[in-house]
Amino acid sequence: MSGRVLAGRIVTALAVSFLLVLLVLPVLALVLRAPVSDIVDRLSEPLVLAAIRLSLETSLCAAALATVLGLPVAYLLATREFRGKHVLEAIIALPMVLPPTVAGVGLLLAFGRAGLAGRALGVFGLSIPFTTTAVVLAEAFIAAPFFIGAAAAGFREVESRYMDAAATLRAAPVTAFVRVLLPLAAPSVLAGATMCWARAIGEFGATITFAGNLPGVTQTMPLAVYVALQTDLDAAIALSVLLVLVSLTILVAVRAFPFGPAALRGQRRAG
Amino acid sequence: MGLPRFVVSAGLVKRLGGLSLAATVEIEAGSTLALVGESGAGKTTVLRLLAGLTAPDDGHIAVDNQTWFDHKSGVSLPTWQREIGYLSQDYALFPHLSVFENIAFGLRAQHVDGPQIRQQVEAMLFRFDLEELKTRKPHQLSGGQQQRVALARALVLQPRLLLLDEPLSALDLKTRRSVRAQLRQTLASLPGATVYVTHNPMEAIVFGDRISVLESGRVTQNGLPDDLLRHPRSAYVAEFMGVNLLRGSIAAAEGGGLVRVQTPFGAVIAADSGDVGEVLVALSPREITLHLTPPAGSAQNVFFGPIVELVPEPPFGDRIRVALATSPPLVAEVTRHAVETLRLREGLEVHAAFKATGLVPYR
């Protein structure tokens, strides 16, 4: 018996160690190679600054867009049963597994000049590809499932008795959603929005395919890293370290901040 | 003056899991219907159907001549448009809102003016003695306090139909007694109709102006508490009300104002009510006297058997309920004094006697 336990522990320890090496080593390598002395100078170059600003703006817009459009979708998925729900869920989750470049090609074919919706938009003199709007769309497309998944899970976790109580107290469905479901699911919704934002900051493939790589217009931080890699390694490393820091901060915050879903569950159980 | 005007009139049909429900519910304005039955009989389902939280398969619901549901014409008012108050067993207070905001919830949902909301909520806080607690969150309240908040939250909307699902079951015994008295007063003053679901006979009798008994999704009896006590129609109702029920048949009147009721356990002599054929006979446990030797006297009915159980009624009360393994099985109720003088104990064989005049057959 103890032999089996020991074997299990060894296998687990090996797996954890190997995974840690795989995950941590690249990050460590980045930080060790960081041009510590002039990292601030590197980051304050005009093109780098522009990329940082653009990344912040577009990722926040994309997260906001995904949240606003994603809330009703998450509500629908969490509260209603309908035919083809599994298919809809799969379609919504698709961007999480699709190569982002493929998503970019799809966006191009849909909203490009000759695309399905692009042609209609062209009639009004609107053209989306290779604009900042395209960056936002690409990021929202890739990052939205992160929000919808978390929000739907949060809505499902709210016990139905609270929504029943709201209805018996004459709250129309929209009122019940805003005043009961959303506050009770707030931890999951906030966590989902934050994860969505983090994914949007890191978006590369769909952006470069659909929006191109125009400095100051569509060149976000990940794109700037890619460009810098070919000319200025230190600048690429400086930007990469910054991206790692931002992403890590967000991920730690989502876990550590007391808006984790478990926090509210505990409070509810006590009540 | 004509037919009684029911404020609530509903015929409900619903298949749900293993339950097949088909029940009629009728309640007059200002009165309370106690809905009783065992777990799984469909009590909560009836409330959810009336509230619109579950959709009936068939039937109709009308309240104050307004149709809330009608399968034939396809009318189905959503829950939030029905003027109800609903207390679930666990009260479901909103955990993220204070006591004040819980009570204000329904008024805000109806876009009542701010000052009006404040005034009405304050009135409720005063009425239910919650003023000191108005900034507390539900998890900071005791069970009795939560119950009062839930009631205030529902009543501030002046519901036409108040639905209470075992409102005292979540409370400990001590709290239950004080809350029961309060709730009795509150319900008595309501203009609307109330459905009070319980499996507790005492609550059913205290709160119910009428009692409906639900057994496996069917209403087996509906009447005044006294009707159920005197004329129970099923073994469950008889047990619920704490009376003995015998089923039998009368071939013909015996004369002298007496009849012989033939039961599967032998015959009993009963008063002649004019009924013949299949009848029911209810017997109050207090009509039965217990004897160690065959009684000589006016009691026409005597059964012999061992004592199965002695249960004080109420707990620590003066009277003792004595369950007997006679044929038919009977429950007698005697004084503590009688138990002591006769030295009654479990296993002791006794004669249980009762007079024919205490038995009135009914159909």
Q: Measured between beta carbons, which residues in chain A are less than 8 angstroms from residue B84?
A: 168
Same domain, A155 and A248: yes
Distance from CA of B205 to the nearest CA of A (A): 27
pLDDT band of B267, cuts 50, 70, 90:
confident
Rounded CA-CA distance A205/A141 in Å is 12
Domain of residue A29: give its range. 1-33
Nearest chain B CA: its distance from A38 CA (Å)? 49
Task: Find tokens 């009703």 and name the residue.
Answer: A72
Residues of B in contact with A168 (CB under 8 A): 51, 53, 79-80, 84-86, 154
Q: Does B362 touch chain A (CB under 8 A)?
A: no
Q: Is residue B292 part of a domain?
A: no
Distance from CA of B227 to the nearest CA of A (A): 33
Measured between alpha carbons, how far is A240 from A229 in angstroms, rounded to an integer? 10
Same domain, A27 and A83: no
Nearest CA-CA partner of B151 in B177, B185, B119, B117 = B185
Tokens matching residue B80: 């939030």
Partner-chain contact B154 A169, CB within 8 Å: yes
B327-350: pLDDT as tens digits: 888 999 999 999 999 999 999 999
Q: Do A170 and B92 touch (CB under 8 A)?
A: no
CB nearest to A170's CB, from B90, B139, B157:
B157
Same domain? For B168 and B27 the reply is yes
Report CA torsion sign: A231, A237, A239, A240.
positive
Q: Is B293 part of any domain?
A: no
Question: What pLDDT score was predicted for residue A260?
Answer: 47
* Statement to judge: residues A21 and A92 lie in one domain: no
The predicted structure's pLDDT at residue A270? 35
Q: What is the pLDDT of residue A91?
A: 94
Q: Provide ipTM, 2 decimals.
A: 0.86
Q: Provide DSSP, B113-167.
A: -HHHHHHHHHHHHHHTT-GGGTT--GGGS-HHHHHHHHHHHHHTT--SEEEEEST
Q: What is the dihedral of CA B197, B203, B209, B212, to 10 degrees?
A: 40
| Structural domain count of chain A | 2
Judge if B41 and B176 occupy the same domain: yes
What secondary structure letter does DSSP report for B362?
B
**Residue B291 is assigned to a structural domain of this protein:** no
Q: Would you say residue B38 has pLDDT above 70? A: yes
Specify whether A111 is located in the same domain as A5: no
Q: Give the pLDDT confidence score for residue A39 in this predicted structure.
A: 81
* Whole-number CA gyration radius for chain B: 25
Residue of B255 and B67 predicted with greater confidence: B67
Residues B192 and B214 in one domain: yes
Shared domain check, B186 and B135: yes
Other residues' Cβ atoms within 10 Å of the Cβ of residue A223: 23
CB atoms closer than 10 angstroms to residue B295: 14
For the sheet with B319-324, list strands across it: B289-291, B349-354, B301-313, B319-324, B330-335
Low-confidence ranges of chain A (pLDDT < 50): 260-271
Per-residue pLDDT band for B3 (boundaries 50, 70, 90) equals low
**Residue in A164, A169, A267 closest to B53 by CB:** A164
C-alpha B84/C-alpha B57 separation (Å) is: 21
* Same-domain status, B94 and B205: yes
Report yes or no: A164 at the B interface, CB cutoff 8 Å: yes
Contact assessment for residue B28 and residue B4, using Cβ atoms and an 8 Å cutoff: yes
Measured CA to CA, the distance from residue B47 to residue B214 in angstroms comes to 12
Q: What is the mean pLDDT of chain B?
A: 91
pLDDT tens-place string over residues B218-237: 999 999 999 999 999 999 99
Reply yes or no on whether the pLDDT at B193 is more than 70.
yes
What pLDDT does residue B4 have? Answer: 58
Give the C-alpha separation, A59 to A53, whole Å.
10
> Which residue range(s) make up the domain with B252?
243-286+300-358
> What's the pTM value of the predicted model, to 2 decimals?
0.84
List the single best residue of A79, A157, A160, A170 to mutate versus B (max B Cβ within 10 A): A170
Mean pLDDT lowest among A62-66, B247-251, B280-284, B310-314: B310-314
Asked if A179's CB is within 8 angstroms of B157's CB, the reply is: no
Residues contacting residue A183 through CB under 8 Å, at least 6 positions apart: B96
Picking from B79, B83, B96, the nearest residue to A167 by CB comes out as B79
Q: For a pLDDT cut of 90, what percent of chain B falls above it?
A: 69
* Section B80-106 average pLDDT: 96
Task: Give the angle B78-B82-B86 at the CA atoms, nearest 5°.
Answer: 105
Give the model confidence (pLDDT) of A67-122 as tens digits: 999 999 999 999 999 999 999 999 999 999 999 999 999 999 999 888 888 888 88
B192: contact with A, CB 8 A cutoff = no
Contact criterion met (CB below 8 Å) for A108 and A210? yes
HEC states along B187-221?
HHCCCCEEEEEECCHHHHHHHCCEEEEEECCEEEE
Answer yes or no: is B295 within a domain. Answer: no
Counted residue by residue, chain A has a size of: 271
